[in-house]
Structure 1
């Protein structure tokens, strides 16, 4: 239910803030649209770049091809941290706009890249763009909806982002097949960036006042679990609590890292694995789109479901489902087999992705929530680099399927860690 209380927004003069999805529906929907454009920036290249590496740049070593995924993941992880700390200090909207400015050269660099170094450099800029913009839209949506609908908010946010990854991956693959690997697929990125700058600069409003309102109304848990998490934690304390000390936050951070390890591995490896069966580019595009497509659509259900049944069991089951899906993919050699595996992988990811963000929102105090989201996303997006390194090294040494088997084992271990370490973070509101 929407909160009727109001508070002055320090960044907006006399403008008042109200918490709740219905009270902020227009801004929330706008931020969902912006996050879809963020996801589309990744989707424009996922299907195309591994094929571009082999056909135009004549790269054959898997570890070398995956350098662009590692570069993306490391820079995105670093940008996530700064997005959290700077948005808490200076406000959300300026960080969102700066993030989109980093996206401007990316499609042009991919179109005109004379060697693979340009592709890696473009992905460094893309990582900064994704870290600043995606982290900021996550925090802004949590600001707007308040404490009761975090799962739903994160489900809508991530569904938009990864749904756009899927749709754009499919569209980019079609454009590549019809018009060549360059420049047609990357023209999508130019259009997305222009539209996002317009929406973010003109129509998006600052949401830090909503976080200040929630902080003023903040009620600690009745069971005392969070008594050590005060409003005035330093940056170092937030980093330690989110990474190591606080059981739910640290369990979420490791699960997020493993999830994106799987995504990073799939990004660089799946198109090459699927190509071993002499599939057409359209078939490869469909297989690659199924994973984020099911992931994106599933979050429309799982985010809200976590608000009803809790977070922990969804996350544990989701990691176990990912492990099973990777086993199916690793043992496959045909389109239908791989399609079943990618659908299952998307379903498992949908169970955990918005739920992990909701866990961070549940535990972190509103005064340092932006920083906690940033730290969590640092660990999560380091998974891109971990997946690229693990996938590249194992694939070079033992083959493509072996790399997928290795990721399956890591996912199973992660599920066990969540089952043992995480407590249930979602408390249903009192009916009184």
Structure 2
């Protein structure tokens, strides 16, 4: 496609957009294969004691994904989006095999190092590519579809892996899902996905970006703006970190908390899946609504809702109560997740937007590691419920900070020249 044929908008790019939604579902499924099974594998096959040691796999995943997010943004600007996407899937090839054949916990940790790199390269790139395609008017909707696909697949795969583990054992059958995802995603990314960097350049030449935003920044300036100096970008970064701290903590501790109440593996898998399922499906609505109503209030309410949900999880001790609490936690996360990414797209100029997305995702996915450290240390020093209480307090503090510091970023008063679906 020549540069003169390029158009922005969801309708104009529906085929490629839909393909990227499918690819990101496969990205999410790679995480979902682990969520129910690995904590149980740690206890039952590797006989690990101590929550901090068990959390090493979440910590390594979070650190590797966070750092890779940063480079995914800079490499996407330098080399293009598609090569980065393909590289991410090539790195994923050994992950399910390592999980299946791991003779000790070190192999599991190494597999999660590679999985974090895979997630950082592939998920970051699908985010950037969708923002490129749709232009400024429909960022919330685009991010809603992207994150709904990813976390919907996390939920479905977590539930399916739990069912397979209950029927066939913890290994190898649940991890065969991941092997199939890698093969399909690598084929689609190599053969069907098209480069989108020229769409970002097209948008940069149109009068649709925020007034007063600098068009050229160094990598250091982008990092500083997104981390500290810009109230909206830095607020999004801290909220993203706390949000994923909650997810990282849930990944390691929730299966153990639910199992400690005598729940079967199938019920544990259902509860673990409910959180990302509601999170994923809810984003289809919240992303689009943030395009109409703005970003700030969704983010504030979402962080406060997560805090309340975590408090309920810490208090509850029955299956039905945990169902209600995990649904509430998923709803709060759905309000936040696509809206934070849309905020980055609102504020960052197309010339440095991919790098800003990379920095935001660096901080956001550092939350996995923070959740592993917080959850592991507090659970070892006190108990699992105390760790959940700590996450609840941080979520409430994050919501209050957003309400005080962040300004509204939605470009509702700007003219949009792209075709509206």
Tell me if TM exceeds 0.5. yes
| Cα distance in 2 between the residues matched to 1:266 and 1:14 | 45
Q: Deviations over 1:39-67 (max 9, x none)?
A: 00000011000000000000020000000
State the partner residue of 2:19.
Answer: 30
| Cα distance in 1 between the residues matched to 2:373 and 2:112 | 16
Q: How far has the Cα of 1:312 moved from its partner?
A: 0.1
Please state if 1:170 is matched with 2:177. no
State the partner residue of 1:4.
Answer: none
Q: How far has the Cα of 1:231 moved from its partner?
A: 1.1
Please state if 1:152 is matched with 2:141. yes
Please state if 1:125 is matched with 2:114. yes
| Cα distance in 2 between the residues matched to 1:267 and 1:115 | 20
State the partner residue of 2:69.
Answer: 80
State the partner residue of 1:406.
Answer: 390
Q: Which of residues 356, 378, 381 in structure 2 aligns to 1:394?
A: 378
Please state if 1:92 is matched with 2:69. no
State the partner residue of 2:346.
Answer: 362
Q: Which of residues 339, 343, 347 in structure 1 aligns to 2:331?
A: 347
- Any unmatched runs of 5+ in structure 1? 1-11
Please state if 1:202 is matched with 2:191. yes
- Any unmatched runs of 5+ in structure 2? 417-421
Q: Deviations over 1:317-360 (max 9, x none)?
A: 00000000000000011101111110000000000000000000
1:148/1:429 contact within 8 Å kept: no
State the partner residue of 2:319.
Answer: 335
| Cα distance in 1 between the residues matched to 2:200 and 2:101 | 43
Please state if 1:254 is matched with 2:238. yes
Q: Deviations over 1:342-384 (max 9, x none)?
A: 0000000000000000000000000011000000000000000
| Cα distance in 1 between the residues matched to 2:311 and 2:331 | 15
Q: How far has the Cα of 1:126 moved from its partner?
A: 0.1
**TM-score, normalised with respect to structure 1:** 0.95
State the partner residue of 2:204.
Answer: 215
**TM-score, normalised with respect to structure 2:** 0.97
Q: How far has the Cα of 1:218 moved from its partner?
A: 3.7
Please state if 1:267 is matched with 2:251. yes
State the partner residue of 1:300.
Answer: 284
| Cα distance in 1 between the residues matched to 2:347 and 2:230 | 9
Q: Deviations over 1:5-25 (max 9, x none)?
A: xxxxxxx66673110000000
Q: How many residues align?
A: 416
Q: How far has the Cα of 1:428 moved from its partner?
A: 1.2
Runs (4+) off by over 4 Å: 12-15, 429-432
Q: How far has the Cα of 1:219 moved from its partner?
A: 3.8
| Cα distance in 2 between the residues matched to 1:282 and 1:220 | 49
